[in-house]
Chain A
Amino acid sequence: MSLNKFALYVHIPFCVSKCSYCDFCSFVPKNEQVSAYLQALNAEIKAKGEFYKNYQVTSIYIGGGTPSILPKNVIFEILKNIKTNFKISGNSITIEANPNSFTLEKAQEFKEAGCNRISFGLQSHNDEILKILNRKHNFQDLVNAVNYAHKVGINDINVDFMFGVPTQDLEDVKESLNRVTNLDITHISCYGLILEPNTPLYNEVKNKELQLPSDDECVNMYDYAVDFLSKHGFFRYEISNFAKKGYESVHNKNYWARGEYLGLGLASHSFIKGVHWHNTSNFNKYLSTPLNCMENIEPETLKTAKEETIMLALRTEKGLNIQEYNKKFQSDFLKEYKNTISKLSTQNLITIKNDYIKINDFNISNAIIAEFF
């Protein structure tokens, strides 16, 4: 019998401090909370491994929060537990880390645990901007961290960079990108800041204590990044993701292909057999019932399946494969969206070539994708 495949996401909801823009499920933990969480998480891993024994794991992503702040050996134990309870077929295990909590010791542990890809949250080289974001590291921390990774033999390294932050200008962006591309890394995630309601940064902007760069400035920053990064060997393969040839994120590409994934841990999201859900984001609830805390269970409909397929694919550089769409939905994409396609083509907003349809300007991708809804 052939096995199904999915990706695993493991959520570590702890941080040393909370970033000012972050609305993720993460918090600064007390000691006993960490051990209680690991107990629940390991119970979930065991039970879900049994439940999904017909699945093969193609990639693992340990995110957060900040997985790198966990005490010694914890990551090792988690991955060991996963390997015991799940069938692992792929060879892509990514872990997120903060530049200042990533020591040589940590690097060795991660390597031994099986991690072969590390994602560092840098966001900016500029201390002033990092202060606005309430991040506790500096650029030198990243330089050191990248060195540690290489030392232990982890060479697939991502750096997160953020633009559109209050007080940031194009010169800042240029300097950050210049420094980052001088490091020996394989992947850069380049995000425009999104203000999420009820975050400190959102309130500061709302109260006019800080001001976001204008739309035009943000567009210039992004366009500059796309151009600069491609000149330095990092090619865009999704709106916010740039990689050297052969180093595209396996785990994330599964999301964008609308492949299946299982989330483990507090507030983690899953998509299996056409159903979306997530675990509770209530910490105590998760501790008491880690095996039974699914929330917002939403089965797909033909409409939502199509919308998600189009939305995710149009965010990638390749675009949407029309043949695959037609096969999957027993449809004729070009006929189904004839009017939309004709309107968007006339305005030169999309390109259709070699069975793919793609967006010409990612800066307005939402508006273009919404046309297909």
Chain B
Amino acid sequence: MSDRQKFIRNFCIVAHIDHGKSTLADRLLEATGTVAKRDLQEQLLDSMDLERERGITIKLTPTRMKYNYQGNDYILNLIDTPGHVDFTYEVSRSLAACEGAILIVDAGQGVEAQTLANVHLALDNNLEILPVINKIDLPSAEPEKVKKEIEDVIGIPAMHAPCISAKEGTNIEAVLEGIIKEFPAPRGKENAPLKCLVFDSYYDNFKGAICLVRVFDGSVKKGDKIKFMQTNNVFEVTEVGYFTPKAKESDVLLTGEVGYIAASIKKVSEARVGDTITNADNPATEALPGYKQVQPVVFSGIFPVDGSKYGELKDALEKLKLNDSALDYQPETSVALGFGFRCGFLGLLHMEIIQERLEREFNLDIITTAPGVSYHVFKTNGEMIEVSNPSNLPEQSFIDHIEEPYVNAHIFTPPEYMGSIMELCTERRGENTDVVYLDEKRVRLDYTIPLSEIIYDFFDSLKSRTRGYASLDYEMADYRPSKLVKLDILLKGEICDALSLIAHQDKAYERGKIMTEKLKEVIPRQMFEVPIQAAIGGKIIARETVKAFRKDVLAKCYGGDVTRKRKLLEKQKEGKKKMRNIGSVEVPSDAFISILKID
């Protein structure tokens, strides 16, 4: 290892949402003089507005800090990580770029589900863990108890963990000292062929896709020919540099360093997270381990409210996709909603973020259909097809059986809510696999549960049943056979494809009933009676009726009334344009959204 490498530390921060990760990051930037206090926006590293609003980090911004410790200048690279379970793979790649991880635990809340999940990810990547107890300024802080909890639950020593208040800036020096003393310097050979891990990428309008990288072996500079080892694509490097946290061009990225590479790469999908960059002329023999193609797990249809905005929606999705390789979309045609897209997401949060960005950044009014998962449908002819759109489910007679995705869910809760949570999980077809008493105040419940059951409002139900005390984490498990049926909604005898969904046989009846009741509330009276029916495989299981309105007339229409009356009717017609026509039935856009909110 070169002397230069000895003074580099690459680390990240892992924490549960709200435990103070972004605040600590801000304090570190400030304490190292990377960013002057006056320039420090609240939570600087979260660059998108949406992230700041939701208090979560989606995109990772690696920042280089300089810190002089006992006479030596150190380079500290902070790689921020997203906190949400939807982005677990990205987190794992970010962790792989580091040698150490600061584990922040709230001095009042203790260890939470996500904390544990992320710590395990860090341990899997052989990272040194530096526990930090945050929020010691709070009256409810019990740092000693939390230290013990870390040792008991996670199994790492925590007696010397710095106790800090990131908010107040208390004891930040101890964290910096810990980073330097506890975390190893990056290993790696300067003379070996280039090996760079892509741990994130984003799209820049001028420079193309930018790869955020950690150099493991060798070095990379402008003009080098580089090769992506998964895709075998070759590019010429146009710029390298690092973040302070603003992008700053440099001559070269050396072994152990963290920075960015621009190489006129057209799409983010050509710069995949987890891929290894090597030198095209002098390639490494083996890629870095751990690459995985990210797969969407939650699907839903997105349609423009105004059918003529299809082109705009397409452009918007293309632009989002440039920067988000996990977003997947394909054109979809719905009888009810017209032209739109079937979109795949990493999870519900990812879906909501995309929806919000479409609405805010692109100013589009969209209709989103009920989120669903991808089913494995085994046909009677032995063929297996993946179905994520209920409309594509083959007829019952062609189906041998269907398998649905399950997840392993971990729920952390105070013991008093156990009964309520178990009830919820059972309702959602969950199977209890383990109950672990962590201490007298905390229990971990492990469940195997269908993914489709937790993508609706499981998290909200969990929070409301436990007054917000429980936390949830899950990872994909496997596919299992399930008794699933397609539930159709018929309006005046016509199937409304946008309202169809795949549901478990035991729940389809109840769901059909609730949906018809809800639709009856939101579909206005029309010129004729509108029967609303729920059907499974042609069999009607529930029915409601929206009665025809009987009176819509203005009595007199003489000379003075003509223009006024015409304008009234024009207004009436304008109102109708906001409706979707299902056959002859006019359905307000709200109807599609309203049924997402029932369970």
Contact = CB atoms under 8 A, between A and B. Distances in A.
Contacts of A194: 554-556
Contact of B559 (A192, A271, A365, A367): A271
Interface stretch (B244-252, B366-374, B561-569): B561-569
Contact of B557 (A261, A267, A298, A312): A312
Q: Which of A193, A364, A368 has the most CB of B within 10 A?
A: A364
Contact of B527 (A9, A255, A368): A368
Nearest to A240: B555
Interface string A187-219: 001011110000000000000000000011011
Q: Which of A9, A268, A366, A367 has the most CB of B within 10 A?
A: A367
Contacts of A240: 555-556
Contacts, number: 104
A373 B560 contact: no
A364 B549 CA distance: 8
Interface of A: 9, 189, 191-194, 215-216, 218-219, 239-240, 252, 255-256, 261, 263, 267-271, 276, 278, 296, 298, 304, 307-308, 311-312, 315, 343, 346-347, 349, 362-371, 373
A311 B565 contact: yes
A311 B569 CA distance: 9
Contacts of A364: 527, 549-553
B175 to A, nearest CB: 66
B576 interface: yes
Contacts of A276: 562-563
B569 A363 contact: no
Contacts of A346: 584
A191 B576 CA distance: 27
Contacts of B555: 191-194, 239-240
B363 to A, nearest CB: 28
Nearest to B559: A269
A277 B131 CA distance: 80
B553 A255 contact: no
A278 B572 contact: no
B563 A298 contact: yes
6 contacts: A215-B550, A240-B555, A261-B559, A263-B560, A343-B584, A363-B553
A276 B550 CA distance: 32
Q: Which 6 residue pairs spanning A and B have beta carbons closest together?
A: A191-B555, A269-B560, A373-B573, A215-B551, A366-B552, A370-B572
Contacts of A269: 559-560, 562
Contacts of A370: 569, 572-573, 576
Contact of B549 (A215, A278, A347): A215
A308 B527 contact: no
A177 B555 CA distance: 17
Q: Which of B527, B549, B559, B565 has the most CB of A within 10 A?
A: B559
A259 B257 CA distance: 86
A239 B553 contact: yes
A271 B558 CA distance: 12
A240 B553 CA distance: 10
Contacts of A349: 527-528
Interface size class on chain B is: 20 to 34
A192 B528 CA distance: 22
A294 to B, nearest CB: 14
A366 B549 CA distance: 12
Nearest to A190: B555
Contacts of A298: 563
Contact of B558 (A252, A278, A373): A252
B570 interface: yes
A270 B558 CA distance: 11
A349 B549 CA distance: 13
B576 A255 contact: no
Interface in B571-599: 572-573, 576, 584
Contacts of B570: 307, 373
B561 to A, nearest CB: 8
Given A191-B556, A216-B550, A369 B527 contact: no
A366 B554 contact: yes
A268 to B, nearest CB: 8
A191 B553 CA distance: 10
Nearest to A192: B555
Contacts of B552: 363-367
A315 B557 contact: yes
Given A271-B562, A346-B584, A370-B576, A307 B569 contact: yes
Interface string B353-366: 00000000000000
A365 B551 CA distance: 8
Nearest to A191: B555
A252 B528 CA distance: 31
Contacts of A365: 552-553
Nearest to A9: B559
A367 B549 contact: yes
Contacts of A252: 558
B553 A312 contact: no
B569 A192 contact: no
A256 B558 CA distance: 8
B493 to A, nearest CB: 12
A218 B551 contact: yes
Nearest to A216: B550
A347 B563 contact: no
A202 to B, nearest CB: 15
A189 B557 CA distance: 12
A296 B555 CA distance: 23
A347 B584 CA distance: 9
Q: Which of B527, B553, B569, B573 has the most CB of A within 10 A?
A: B553
A199 B262 CA distance: 72
Given A263-B559, A308-B562, 12 more contacts: A192-B555, A216-B551, A256-B557, A276-B562, A296-B563, A311-B557, A346-B584, A363-B550, A364-B527, A366-B552, A366-B569, A367-B549
B527 to A, nearest CB: 5
Contacts of A371: 573
A194 B553 CA distance: 9
Contacts of B556: 189, 191, 194, 240
Interface in B122-169: none
A296 B553 CA distance: 25
